[in-house]
């Protein structure tokens, strides 16, 4: 009898037994058949649930990887408040969190097993850890994005809380799990309230910090005017360092991570994770007790999300300790830092804080200063060597000035409305002519192209920073597309550049072929879309450049060989690069002082990296005392 109770017969076997009884009614057998059909239907519908469980586990893994990357990034950069560089609030993270936390909002699937119940509860612990991890990311958003994301996060959390409360009432959450479920509901709501309060605080903090930043910015400009006898690089390093300190200390994420609300969310995250760990210890004894339609995938979800809870709690916990140490290390019964740094290199005036009556700890300022020096030295190891070799060949702007004067005369004589030529388009057009010369050794062409490729990275930055208009952006885009065509395929607008043409090609022949081809394209092309506009811009530039060179050589064109023309073009390219890159100090200053507070932190890092990489270039161009040209012809 006991054996029969432990292994009850299936519904199908019961129907067969009933049919064998002569006194069994047909109505009873029909009722059992209906139940059997319903059971079979439910089993078919539950078949995909295992794959859905795996889907939830994969989504959980995608939620874990960004916080893990932020942990590694924080350790590598020695930012132990762990800024949110990879794990931020956006559509992707919300979508992944929505899938990963599906179980608590699943009202239709019974989950009687111990593993099933613990996985449902672990979902809420996982959400607590992820929310605590996301808190500093609120500060990196614009005001509109901040409000929208808080509303979106609130919808996810409120939906989860309401559904869990319904399941507690209906008994879908078992009695032995109700108390823990209630704790998780309370913790989730508290973390949500913390996020909402932090968002309101961030809006006000940004206003205060912006006013202080502008005051420090004016001070930095005034101090820069007083600097005498320093090289451009020395001035830039000192100036960028001021903005580095301002960006670091006024970084909204830094202030949010070191706030009391961040500390509170870290504590709540630790509490939820400890409960999750306790559930995992109990689950070891019942690790095969999964009875829901998700089957064994529930165990996979439980383990994955427990790992996620651990990873997601590390950063909030470290931020809590950082907050305590930061608060304790602030100097009140002590002397001001100015008394410790009575030198011209005192940067404490550029430390921005919300409270005027406190001063940042000396160790914190030293860490920020050291991080800047380390970043500069790291960037200095990545000097563009090929570009430097090319710039060394340029001794001045003689050829460049002559080239642009001829071009200006041509524009006035032919058509005053002819499109302007920017640095990058002139460089790529000249490179196209150099590649078309047939008698030049390949290693010389390769050396020229390698230097040009490195230089175009900085030319693009100069043009984008100093000429941000739509017209120039269109020309720059055309130059970028043409560079790929020339460098990779050795062709110009679909015309193969004659690198392997017969030796009889003279300089006049090559230049006139390029000029005629480009003029024909200018006359034939109809600007209807981006491709036709790109062809018109590039062909117009080639027509201008080749005709300028022919006009320059004039009667001597037949006496010019390819080697001499290649040297002239190489000198022109080096000179144009030098003229363009002489604007790098202006670009660095612009990038170090970004207008948007949310982008200021990343922008000053980019300025410091650019300064480190181009130190030799700036020094080289400064030593020559070159006269700057305008960015466009």
**Per-residue pLDDT at 297 exceeds 80:** yes
**Residue of 60, 56, 67 lying closest to 89 (CA atoms):** 67
**Per-residue pLDDT at 140 exceeds 80:** yes
CA–CA distances in Å: residue 241 to residues 138, 232, 361, 598? 26, 14, 18, 19
Q: What pLDDT score was predicted for residue 18?
A: 58
Which is more confident, 343 or 86? 86
Q: What number is the average pLDDT over the span 27-37?
A: 60
**Residue of 387, 345, 344, 341 lying closest to 360 (CA atoms):** 341
**Residue of 122, 32, 119, 167 lying closest to 293 (CA atoms):** 119
- 137-172 per-residue burial string, b: 16 or more CB within 10 A, e: under 16: bbbbbeeeebeebbebbeebbeebbebbeebbeeeb
Residues pairing with 422 in the sheet = 632
**Per-residue pLDDT at 458 exceeds 70:** yes
Alpha helices in 102-174 (DSSP H): 114-134, 143-170
Q: How far is the C-alpha of 402 from the C-alpha of 400, rounded, in Å?
A: 5
Q: What pLDDT score was predicted for residue 415?
A: 46
Helices 175-226 & 143-170, crossing angle to 10 degrees? Answer: 170
**Residue of 427, 430, 425, 444 lying closest to 549 (CA atoms):** 430
Overall size of the chain counted in residues: 633
Range scoring the smallest mean pLDDT among 89-103, 356-370, 569-583: 356-370
Residues pairing with 592 in the sheet = none
For 259-274, how does the pLDDT look when each residue is reduced to its tens digit (9 = 90+)?
888 889 999 999 999 9
Q: How far is the C-alpha of 355 from the C-alpha of 255, rounded, in Å?
A: 12
For 94-136, how does the pLDDT look when each residue is reduced to its tens digit (9 = 90+)?
999 999 998 988 877 778 889 999 999 999 999 999 999 999 9
Range scoring the smallest mean pLDDT among 21-35, 161-175, 182-196, 201-215: 21-35
For 469-518, how does the pLDDT look when each residue is reduced to its tens digit (9 = 90+)?
777 888 888 888 888 888 888 888 888 876 544 445 788 888 888 888 88
* Tokens 């410091």, residue located: 608
For 232-249, how does the pLDDT look when each residue is reduced to its tens digit (9 = 90+)?
888 899 999 999 999 888
For 375-426, how does the pLDDT look when each residue is reduced to its tens digit (9 = 90+)?
999 999 999 999 998 888 665 555 566 566 555 544 444 444 444 557 888 8
Range scoring the smallest mean pLDDT among 25-29, 415-419, 583-587: 415-419
Q: What pLDDT score was predicted for residue 2?
A: 43
Q: Please provide the distance, in angstroms rounded to a whole number, between the alpha carbons at the two ends of the chain.
A: 100
Q: What pLDDT score was predicted for residue 230?
A: 66
Whether 139 contacts 262, CB under 8 Å: no
**Per-residue pLDDT at 608 exceeds 90:** yes
SS (H, E, C) 253-278: HHHHHCCHHHHHHHHHHHHHHHHHHH
- Largest Cα separation within the chain, whole Å, is 122
With H, G, I as helix, E, B as strand and everything else as coil, classify residue 512: helix
């Amino acid at each position: 009898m006991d054996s029969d109770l432990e292994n009850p017969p299936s519904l199908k076997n019961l129907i067969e037994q009933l049919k064998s009884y002569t006194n069994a009614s047909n109505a009873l057998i029909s009722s059992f058949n209906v139940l059997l059909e319903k059971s079979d239907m439910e089993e078919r519908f539950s078949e995909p649930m295992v794959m859905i469980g795996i889907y939830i586990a994969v989504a959980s893994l995608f939620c874990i990887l960004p916080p893990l990357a932020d942990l590694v990034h924080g350790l590598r950069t020695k930012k132990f408040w762990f800024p949110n560089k990879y794990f931020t609030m956006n559509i992707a993270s919300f979508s992944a969190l929505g899938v990963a936390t599906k179980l608590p909002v699943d009202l239709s699937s019974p989950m009687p097993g111990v593993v099933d119940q613990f996985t449902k509860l672990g979902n809420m612990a996982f959400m607590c850890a992820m929310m605590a991890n996301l808190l500093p990311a609120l500060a990196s958003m614009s005001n509109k994005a901040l409000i929208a994301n808080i509303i979106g996060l609130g919808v996810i959390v409120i939906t989860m809380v309401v559904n869990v409360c319904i399941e507690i009432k209906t008994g879908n959450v078992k009695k032995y799990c109700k108390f823990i479920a209630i704790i998780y509901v309370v913790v989730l709501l508290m973390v949500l309230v913390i996020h909402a309060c932090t968002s309101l605080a961030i809006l006000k903090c940004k206003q205060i910090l912006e006013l202080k930043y502008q005051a420090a910015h004016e001070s930095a400009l005034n101090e820069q005017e007083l600097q005498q006898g320093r090289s451009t690089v020395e001035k830039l390093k000192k100036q960028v360092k001021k903005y580095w300190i301002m960006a670091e200390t006024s970084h909204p994420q830094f202030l949010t991570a070191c706030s009391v609300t961040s500390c509170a969310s870290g504590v709540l995250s630790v509490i939820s994770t400890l409960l999750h760990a306790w559930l995992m210890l109990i689950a070891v004894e019942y690790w095969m007790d999964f009875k829901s339609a998700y089957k064994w995938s529930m165990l996979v979800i439980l383990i994955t999300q427990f790992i996620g809870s651990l990873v997601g709690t590390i950063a909030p916990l470290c931020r809590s300790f950082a907050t305590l140490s930061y608060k304790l290390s602030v100097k009140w019964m002590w002397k001001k830092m100015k008394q410790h740094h009575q030198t011209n290199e005192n940067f404490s005036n550029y430390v921005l804080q919300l409270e005027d009556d406190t001063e940042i700890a000396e160790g914190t300022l030293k860490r920020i200063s050291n991080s800047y020096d380390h970043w500069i030295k790291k960037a200095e190891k990545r000097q563009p060597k090929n570009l430097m070799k090319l710039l060394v060949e340029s001794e001045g702007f003689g050829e460049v000035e002559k080239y642009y004067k001829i071009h200006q005369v041509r524009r006035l004589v032919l058509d005053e409305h002819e499109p302007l030529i920017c640095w990058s388009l002139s460089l790529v057009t000249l490179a196209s002519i150099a590649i078309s010369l047939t008698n030049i050794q390949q290693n010389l062409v390769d050396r020229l192209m390698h230097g040009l490729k490195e230089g175009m990275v900085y030319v693009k930055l100069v043009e984008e920073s100093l000429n941000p208009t739509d017209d120039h952006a269109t020309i720059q885009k055309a130059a970028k597309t043409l560079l790929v065509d020339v460098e990779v395929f050795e062709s110009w607008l679909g015309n193969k550049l004659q690198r392997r043409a017969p030796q009889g090609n003279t300089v006049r022949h090559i230049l006139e072929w390029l000029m005629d081809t480009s003029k024909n394209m200018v006359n034939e092309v109809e600007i209807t879309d981006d491709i036709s506009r790109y062809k018109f811009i590039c062909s117009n530039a080639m027509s201008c450049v080749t005709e300028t060179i022919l006009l320059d050589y004039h009667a001597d064109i037949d006496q010019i060989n390819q080697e001499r023309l290649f040297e002239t073009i190489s000198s022109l390219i080096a000179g144009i690069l030098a003229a363009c890159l002489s604007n790098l100090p202006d670009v660095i200053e612009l990038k170090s002082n970004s207008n948007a507070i949310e982008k200021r932190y990343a922008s000053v890092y980019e300025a410091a990296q650019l300064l480190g990489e181009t130190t030799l270039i700036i020094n080289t161009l400064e030593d020559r005392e070159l006269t700057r040209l305008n960015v466009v012809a």
